[in-house]
Amino acid sequence: MRPRRLEPKSGCAAELTMSVIGGLWKPTILVNLLMGKKRFMELSRLIPDATQRVLTQQLRELEADGMITRQVFPEVPPRVEYSATDLARSVAPILGSLRDWGNQFRANQQRMEEMEPHCPAEEVDA
Amino acid sequence: MRPRRLEPKSGCAAELTMSVIGGLWKPTILVNLLMGKKRFMELSRLIPDATQRVLTQQLRELEADGMITRQVFPEVPPRVEYSATDLARSVAPILGSLRDWGNQFRANQQRMEEMEPHCPAEEVDA
DNA sequence: CAGAATCCTCGCGGATACTG
DNA sequence: CAGTATCCGCGAGGATTCTG
């Protein structure tokens, strides 16, 4: 049996989804691949903050989960192309909502933190 | 500055969202609280697999992120009620899609695994 | 080029015991 | 009842080096 990855301990289906798309770089990888097939180095350049090791790792996991396909060209120098599957396309809208909500949340947090210094309401009766 | 939690290293907005709702028990907690305010023990009973320590932890994080409110009643025995905020209500649909996709994915995976024993296609020319 | 191998850090989540 | 305090294991992700 492949322990695969986190096999979310909570039976929660939402958790399961996150275990599939929740790797640190997986959303980014998916978004990039959803825009077209890419070779390894292209991805690496597009996501420079991810180590090659981690990138490979996440790609393998996505592949194991059927989210992407990996095509190897037996040439020298070697070439490998990654592309999104239909399954990946089916999460695209979710990725979109996730991104939108995240942006709103981020904006909200910033407004909050800008306000703090100006209204120290807790100090009035301190 | 509060390091809060993972402060997702990838600037990815989707990651940010997951850092907010991605704790192991957070989706479950949120779903429960979205159905109405609950006290600590109620939640603990509803999510028996989460230890009290972790439950408290996740509740604190959700509170810090403005997803829930914590109301303390100065009585003996003490009473604390948790309830979902508007921000939490705004993620509800996302939680829904996450759950739906997870269920479909799970069903898909099971079909795949049931097929494996019956079509060892890779062995024909082995 | 596309990785594999190795070693390491960090923090999530768990277990258990104790308290106002 | 609703936590806190302490200790710990595990796995994700990082840094670096080597290779077909």
- Residue pLDDT tens, chain B, 126 long: 333 455 667 788 999 999 999 999 999 999 999 999 999 999 999 999 999 999 999 999 999 999 999 999 999 899 999 999 999 999 999 999 999 999 999 998 877 777 755 554 444 332
Domain presence at residue B121:
no
Domain presence at residue A23:
yes
What pairs with residue A107 in β-bridges? none
Q: What is the structure's pLDDT at B126?
A: 28
The secondary structure element, H or E, covering residue B34 is: helix B26-34
Q: What is the structure's pLDDT at B17?
A: 96
Of chain B residues 20-79, which have a beta carbon within 7 Å of strand C?
A: 22-25, 49-54, 57-58, 77-78
Contact at CB, B49 and A10, closer than 8 angstroms: yes
Is residue A85 within 8 A of residue B88, CB to CB? The reply is no
> Whose CA is nearest the C1' atom of nucleotide C13?
B54
Domain presence at residue A37:
yes
Model pLDDT for residues A41-80, shown as the tens digit of each residue:
999 999 999 999 999 999 999 999 999 999 999 998 999 9
The secondary structure element, H or E, covering residue B39 is: strand B38-39
Is residue B72 within 8 A of residue B58, CB to CB? The reply is no
What tokens appear for B53 in the block? 């320590």
- CATH label of the domain that carries residue A54: 1.10.10.10
Domain presence at residue A38:
yes
- Helix, strand, coil share of chain B (percent; to 5): 60, 10, 30
Of chain A residues 98-117, which have a beta carbon within 7 Å of strand C?
A: none
Work out how many domains chain A is built from and give that number: 1
Scanning every strand, the nucleotide with its C1' closest to A60's CA turns out to be C3
Q: Domain containing A21: what range?
A: 9-97
Model pLDDT for residues A72-124, shown as the tens digit of each residue:
999 989 999 999 999 999 999 999 999 999 999 999 887 777 775 555 444 33
Domain presence at residue A3:
no
Domain presence at residue A102:
no
Is residue A91 within 8 A of residue B94, CB to CB? The reply is no
Given a cut of 70, is residue A14 above it in pLDDT?
yes
Domain presence at residue A32:
yes
Domain presence at residue A1:
no
Q: What is the structure's pLDDT at A125?
A: 36
